[in-house]
Amino acid sequence: MKEIKYIFLLGLTLMLGSCQKEEIMMYQQRAGVYFSTRSMAYSFTENPGVDTARLRLPVDITGSPVDYRREFKVTLPDFNPWTTAEEDQYKIGQGYVEAGEETGYVELELYKDERLLDSVYTLHLAIQKTPDFPEIRLNRFDMEITFTDKLIQPANWGYLNLGTFSSAWWRFVLNVTNGNPLRYWGGVNPDKDYWTMGYSELAVWRTVIRRELKKYNESPEGPLVHDDGPSKGKPVEMPIN
pLDDT in tens, 18-34: 444 444 443 446 899 99
Q: How much is the average pLDDT of 11-16? A: 44
Tell me, yes or no, whether 53 and 136 share the same domain. Answer: yes
Under a CB-based contact definition with an 8 Å cutoff, are residues 184 and 195 in contact? yes
User: pLDDT of 109-132, one tens digit each?
Assistant: 999 999 999 999 999 999 999 999
Where among 103, 118, 152 does a domain terminate?
152
Shared domain for 144 and 44, answered yes or no, is yes
186-239 confidence digits (pLDDT tens): 988 878 888 899 999 999 999 999 999 999 999 999 999 999 999 999 999 999
Domain that includes residue 71, residue range = 32-152
Whether residues 139 and 170 fall in one domain: no
> Which has the closest alpha carbon to 137: 25, 36, 26?
36
Q: Are 116 and 44 a contacting pair, CB within 8 Å? A: yes
The residue from 85, 120, 152 where one domain ends is 152
Q: Nearest 5°: phi and psi at 61?
A: -120, 160
Cα–Cα dist 33/216, whole Å: 48
Residues 176 and 209 in one domain: yes
**If you count DSSP H runs as helices and E runs as strands, how many of each does the chain have, helices first?**
4, 9
Closest by Cα among 168, 235, 239, 169 to 206: 239
The CATH number covering residue 123 comes to 2.60.40.1740
User: pLDDT digits over 37-85, tens only?
Assistant: 888 989 998 887 889 999 999 999 999 999 999 999 999 999 999 999 9
CB–CB of 74/106 below 8 Å?
Answer: yes
pLDDT of residue 2: 44
Q: Which helix (H) or strand (E) holds 41?
A: strand 39-43
Nearest to 55 by CA among 42, 70, 39: 42
- Residues 144/122, Cβ–Cβ less than 8 Å: yes
Give the confidence band of 11 by pLDDT, cuts at 50, 70, 90: very low
Same domain (yes/no): 148, 58: yes
Q: Do 163 and 222 have their domain in common? A: yes
Task: Name the residue among 169, 186, 143, 155 with its Cα closest to residue 42.
Answer: 155
